[in-house]
Amino acid sequence: MKAAPRTLPYATVKAALRERIARGGWEPGVRLPSERELVQEFGCARMTVHRALRELEEEGLIERRQGSGSYVAELHPISNLLQVRDIHEEIRERGHAHATRVCSVVREKADARTAAAMRLAKHAPVYRVQLVHLENGVPIQLEDRHVNPALAPDLLARDFTQVTPSFVLFEHAPLTEAEQVVEAVLANADQAALLDVAEGSALLMVSRRTVSQGAVASVARLYHPGARYRLIGRFSV
């Protein structure tokens, strides 16, 4: 029987540091322990720690400052809360890599709450998509979206590792109106597992309803780890 491939020491250190950042153990702007301290913590060579930190810097998770040390990067602002944008484009504009984990893509009957939000009859057919969006390998958004099949009939056939639901909706149902509400909520067990945070952690939830030519195209709940995400709104007066 073939032996399982051995995990390289630097990858073990890198994964541990990534998890600590992802779970909010170190807030943005916090200085990481020195290389010497990390060597002592992990019981490894200094070059091992150096490579782990270098790769985390390349992924945009930390900033290394000459003569000062390594700091958790100020991660993941949304450019404008007052805009409805494709998360893939937002991440790409920051020079980072976007990836998607597909949790569920199904056709179901709308419950009373969803039907009311979408201006449909109770138990009307709707599409439901649940995805986790990652920026440089770190989960930053859990998307739970219901879509009106009449406005995006081919939605279930699309590959959401290649396109986002927002892209498909922009393609089929140009946006004419949108509503957004931002709330602070606590992560339940399922949300915590998908976003790689501790259960009970603070999340920013954006409830969004989009309308195209008078018809509700989708309603979505977008959950973001509070330690990794900021929502920014700019307007003129």
> In percent, how much of the chain has pLDDT > 70?
87
Q: Tell me if residue 114 falls in helix, strand or coil.
A: helix
> In percent, how much of the chain has pLDDT > 90?
49
pLDDT recorded at residue 80: 46
C-alpha atoms less than 13 angstroms from C-alpha of 76 in its C-beta half-sphere: 27
Query: Angle, nearest 10°, between helix axes 46-58 and 35-42?
Result: 110
Same domain as 81, residue 147: yes
pLDDT recorded at residue 229: 67
Query: Is 2 a member of any domain?
Result: no
Q: How far is CA 41 from the centre of its chain?
A: 30
For the purposes of burial, counting CB atoms within 10 Å of the CB of 234, is it exposed (0-12), middle (13-18) or buried (19 or more)? Answer: exposed
Query: Is 89 a member of any domain?
Result: yes
Query: Is 1 a member of any domain?
Result: no
Same domain as 65, residue 51: yes
**Residue 63: CATH number of its domain:** 1.10.10.10
Query: Is 202 a member of any domain?
Result: yes
Given a cut of 70, whether residue 156 has pLDDT beyond it is yes
Same domain as 38, residue 15: yes
Given a cut of 50, whether residue 159 has pLDDT beyond it is yes
Cβ pair 187, 196 in contact under 8 A: no
Query: Is 3 a member of any domain?
Result: no
> What confidence tens digit (pLDDT) does each residue in 25-82 have?
787 788 999 999 999 999 999 999 999 999 888 767 788 888 889 998 765 544 445 4
Mean pLDDT computed over 155-178: 89
Same domain as 126, residue 105: yes
Same domain as 25, residue 82: no
**Residue 117: CATH number of its domain:** 3.40.1410.10
Read off the DSSP letter of residue 98.
E
Query: Is 128 a member of any domain?
Result: yes
- What's the mean per-residue pLDDT of the chain? 86
**Of 72, 99, 120, which marks where a domain is finished?**
72
pLDDT recorded at residue 77: 46
Read off the DSSP letter of residue 31.
B
Same domain as 166, residue 210: yes
Q: Tell me if residue 214 falls in helix, strand or coil.
A: coil
> What confidence tens digit (pLDDT) does each residue in 191-230 have?
999 998 888 988 989 999 999 888 999 999 999 988 766 6
Query: Is 124 a member of any domain?
Result: yes
Q: In angstroms, rounded to a whole number, what is the distance separating the alpha carbons of residues 33 and 58?
A: 18
Query: Is 237 a member of any domain?
Result: no
Same domain as 95, residue 26: no
pLDDT recorded at residue 79: 41
**Of 51, 72, 93, which marks where a domain is finished?**
72
Same domain as 191, residue 91: yes
| Amino acid letter, 95 | G
Stretch among 12-16, 77-81, 168-172, 228-232 having the lowest mean pLDDT: 77-81
SS3 content of the chain, % helix, strand, coil (to 5): 30, 35, 40
Q: pLDDT higher for 131 or 93? A: 131
Cβ partners under 8 Å of residue 145, min gap 6: 128, 129, 130, 131, 165, 218, 219, 220, 221
Given a cut of 70, whether residue 5 has pLDDT beyond it is no
Q: In angstroms, rounded to a whole number, what is the distance separating the alpha carbons of residues 75 and 104?
A: 27
Q: pLDDT higher for 94 or 117? A: 117
Cβ partners under 8 Å of residue 37, min gap 6: none
Same domain as 142, residue 207: yes
Same domain as 82, residue 157: yes
Range of the domain at 18: 9-72
Same domain as 174, residue 117: yes
| Amino acid letter, 212 | S
**Of 45, 72, 99, which marks where a domain is finished?**
72
Number of separate domains in the chain: 2
pLDDT recorded at residue 146: 98
Same domain as 171, residue 92: yes
